[in-house]
Structure 1
């Protein structure tokens, strides 16, 4: 008696699984300019590192004698692998099989991906292209469930939520993504979509049937929709670019919430002083400037002078800049106001973006560098209708509950309640000579406080300008530095050396063993 027949059967099933949906389905995938899930995994991971889990899972078909006649593999591919030598879990729907709509084993494997990441405390990567449950059910004809299985019938959402507080999760939309895969896509710390991808709660046919709107997938949930909605962080020019962005994101974070980010070697001198910073802020208060240039001048420069700054969610809440960078090799979270949008004011969207980003930094022990040019909450009827004050206060609460080191560089404005969102607990505060702070910006405050005096003047405009110039002097950073309301007023060119020295001290003081943050990040 020998087991060779069974061993041959194992090999046969593995070979069938490698065929995915068959040569015709694979060819159709390539005709669309898209990779298959196995090609995506190979493109993401270090060569030869993929260790597949559940390769033999699927839907078999047998003849009357009990012999296997066909085998449809689970349409979710899953396994361990390495990225730059770091262990990760990676998985994704196989669109060549039923358009990625889960069969029973595929659904179980998708949940198991999260369970594996939690068990082994390693980053989780999901590469999405697929639909959710089918009204026709899943599995063989005799087991068909007419209305599908409710998502709440099992605890599959528990590990989905737990991963956000325990391990880094990065996801990509690489085609149409709907239903449960769309929920998994946004349940992440970083998400990216390609230009031809679409993220949908329900597809065009369902929307037309329910609401009468005749729209394409792209109109419903393409990049032009979800980069601005905040559902997706970044756009990729190609699948290769999406995979590279995921790998870059992971380079800034630890494997799990029980570790701190690894410090990388830094060849950029910590005493580098950029002359461009001295006059990057115009002396005329109303003239805009480029905060991204400030950030890139300060943070580490890497190979061939490229900035270490990796921006996230640029199109959502655009008055606030968020991203990751390195300072003297340390990974840091970076926030800053972009005065090119709403003068940098905090909108409801910017507040949501800030709250989520600070929760992320807390989850993985990333110090925060805050470049401040905050005129206050956005005002007006649209801002009131959006609930800006509630979202803004929630963002401030997240900042004040954070437990990572903060350094705040007051570049220009810091006004009103919203300014508090840029100064974490016990923040190290540096001020540039261009800084101005107070309860209100001079331009708005003078018009309100001196309304009668201005109206009674022979030349109201001249009197208002005179009052503004007089009060602007009181908002200078020099009196605050004299009273030690800020730790130091500095030459802008000193920003990098000051921050590098502070960060070395702050990180050396983090002697307690890191643990997950109690306020788990939510999508």
Structure 2
């Protein structure tokens, strides 16, 4: 006697699991221009590194003799793998079985993937395509709902957000619970042929009487601007590549420092183009992204959410191989003024950097909070103050480079609790932007002048001289006033100094980061 029959049964289930929803369902998936979940995982992780958990979980049918006659695999695939030789937990819905709407085994495996990441304290990658629950799932006999002693489903989702980097991808229609899990992440991306929505077109038409397409509801043009996702990729391979790149800046968990990469870019590199990048004419804008590229390690800047809150640029970069979180004003969009959306983007970046111990660098060209009826209706002052307080409470190593404008309450969002402050000769700092401040403070004097236009110009020129950074540098109100070309050497030295303080901050934060 041996256990060969049982082993044959086991292997049959494993083979059927690899077939997913069957040849026809896989062919339909490919015809729609999508990979299957197993193909996606293979494209994401290091070759041959995926160790699946629960491949034999699913619904088995047997004859009277106990022989396996059919097997429907759990429609969530999960396990451990490596990305750039670092361990990660990975999982995703199998759209070829029930369109990704969870069957019994699939639901359990989808809950388990967060536990897997927490148990091994490794980054979590979720790849989404599918809907949430089905009304047919609650029509059967037997117990209904979860027992009262069971922990809330989203508790482990929240715990992952506070302990390990979480990256997600939407690679097809993503609705209901998977859409919520997509945004419960530190970085999310959707492919151009994906849609993310709370409820699909049929549900919307039934509830609101409005016919609508999936693209109109939650296509990439919608969510690039809504802030629901951090990036839109041209295809699935590009989306998975962005996840790999995001994780390269992150530690494995909150008890470790971010990984240092080899760097061939000289730390003492001084780019002469920086000397003339900022126009001497105050009203002329400049390209902040060019500035960033000239200062950080070559090719290391990784921007996210470019189309959302566009007045502020946010992303990650490296200085001498060390990862940093970075944000800066884009003076070519609304003069760089902090809108409600931009403030939310900045607050989130600060909280991610705090959670994973990345030093923060900010390049300042801040005219203040956005003003006007639209800004008031959007709640700019509330969200802006939230960003300011996030900065004020942040204990991370923080470097502030005042490139040009630094005005108003919004300017405070660029200074952490222990900011190392550098200024360029082009810097101007004050309570209000020069033109508006003069118009308000000297309104009567300007109105009474023989030539109001000339008087206002004279006052503006006088005030501009007083806003020069020289007085602040001479008063030790900043650490150094520097030649713009020296910015990279100064920041590379600072980020090296910062390793000791970073180590002091290891471990989870008292607050839990939320999407």
TM-score (norm 2): 0.97
Deviations 1:456-482 (A, max 9, x none): 222222221111111111111011111
| Contact kept? 2:396, 2:502, Cα under 8 Å | no
For residues 342-381 of structure 1, the aligned pairs below 5 Å read 342-381=334-373
| Contact kept? 2:263, 2:320, Cα under 8 Å | yes
Secondary structure in 2 aligned to 1:176? strand
Instruction: Tell me the equivalent position of 1:22.
Output: 22
Secondary structure in 1 aligned to 2:137? coil
Matched, 1:456 2:453: no
- CA distance in structure 2 between the aligned counterparts of 1:79 and 1:126, rounded to whole angstroms: 11
Moved over 6 A (4+): 147-153
Secondary structure in 2 aligned to 1:351? helix
Matched, 1:430 2:422: yes
| Contact kept? 2:25, 2:96, Cα under 8 Å | yes
Instruction: Tell me the equivalent position of 1:76.
Output: 76
Q: Calculate the aligned-residue CA RMSD, in Å.
A: 1.7
Matched, 1:134 2:134: yes
- CA distance in structure 1 between the aligned counterparts of 2:145 and 2:505, rounded to whole angstroms: 45
- CA distance in structure 2 between the aligned counterparts of 1:455 and 1:151, rounded to whole angstroms: 72
Deviations 1:270-327 (A, max 9, x none): 01001111011111111111111111110001xxxxx100001111111111101100
Instruction: Tell me the equivalent position of 2:261.
Output: 264
For residues 96-245 of structure 1, the aligned pairs below 5 Å read 96-137=96-137, 155-245=152-242
Deviations 1:356-396 (A, max 9, x none): 11000001000001100110011111111111111111111
> Which structure 2 residue ranges, 5 or more long, are not aligned?
none
Instruction: Tell me the equivalent position of 1:291.
Output: 288
**Alignment CA distance shift 1:469-1:152 (3 Å):** farther
Instruction: Tell me the equivalent position of 1:35.
Output: 35
Q: Alignment partner for residue 398 of structure 1, among 373, 383, 390?
A: 390
What is the CA distance between 1:142 and its match in structure 2? 5.5
- CA distance in structure 1 between the aligned counterparts of 2:147 and 2:103, rounded to whole angstroms: 14
More displaced, 465-474 or 363-372? 465-474
- CA distance in structure 2 between the aligned counterparts of 1:108 and 1:81, rounded to whole angstroms: 20
What is the CA distance between 1:511 and its match in structure 2? 4.3
> Which structure 1 residue ranges, 5 or more long, are not aligned?
302-306
Matched, 1:91 2:91: yes
- CA distance in structure 1 between the aligned counterparts of 2:112 and 2:37, rounded to whole angstroms: 17
Secondary structure in 2 aligned to 1:269? coil
Deviations 1:303-352 (A, max 9, x none): xxxx1000011111111111011001111000101111111111111111
What is the CA distance between 1:152 and its match in structure 2? 11
Q: Alignment partner for residue 316 of structure 1, among 278, 290, 308?
A: 308
- CA distance in structure 1 between the aligned counterparts of 2:352 and 2:91, rounded to whole angstroms: 22
| Contact kept? 1:134, 1:148, Cα under 8 Å | no
Deviations 1:17-47 (A, max 9, x none): 0000110110011111110000000011111
Secondary structure in 2 aligned to 1:407? strand
- CA distance in structure 2 between the aligned counterparts of 1:7 and 1:366, rounded to whole angstroms: 49
What is the CA distance between 1:508 and its match in structure 2? 3.7
Instruction: Tell me the equivalent position of 1:248.
Output: 245
- CA distance in structure 1 between the aligned counterparts of 2:250 and 2:496, rounded to whole angstroms: 18
- CA distance in structure 2 between the aligned counterparts of 1:409 and 1:372, rounded to whole angstroms: 6
**Alignment CA distance shift 1:254-1:151 (3 Å):** farther
TM-score (norm 1): 0.96
Deviations 1:203-227 (A, max 9, x none): 0000011011211111001111111
Secondary structure in 1 aligned to 2:281? coil
- CA distance in structure 2 between the aligned counterparts of 1:280 and 1:519, rounded to whole angstroms: 40
What is the CA distance between 1:154 and its match in structure 2? 5.2
| Contact kept? 2:357, 2:505, Cα under 8 Å | no
- CA distance in structure 1 between the aligned counterparts of 2:151 and 2:103, rounded to whole angstroms: 16
Secondary structure in 2 aligned to 1:376? coil
- CA distance in structure 2 between the aligned counterparts of 1:125 and 1:274, rounded to whole angstroms: 38
| Contact kept? 1:370, 1:407, Cα under 8 Å | yes
Secondary structure in 2 aligned to 1:473? helix
- CA distance in structure 1 between the aligned counterparts of 2:153 and 2:112, rounded to whole angstroms: 9
| Contact kept? 2:397, 2:502, Cα under 8 Å | no
- CA distance in structure 2 between the aligned counterparts of 1:195 and 1:56, rounded to whole angstroms: 33
- CA distance in structure 2 between the aligned counterparts of 1:212 and 1:63, rounded to whole angstroms: 48
- CA distance in structure 1 between the aligned counterparts of 2:147 and 2:455, rounded to whole angstroms: 68
**Alignment CA distance shift 1:513-1:418 (3 Å):** closer
- CA distance in structure 2 between the aligned counterparts of 1:150 and 1:370, rounded to whole angstroms: 48
What is the CA distance between 1:451 and its match in structure 2? 1.2
| Contact kept? 1:177, 1:198, Cα under 8 Å | yes
| Contact kept? 1:164, 1:189, Cα under 8 Å | yes
| Contact kept? 1:137, 1:144, Cα under 8 Å | no
**Alignment CA distance shift 1:509-1:132 (3 Å):** closer
- CA distance in structure 2 between the aligned counterparts of 1:244 and 1:207, rounded to whole angstroms: 33
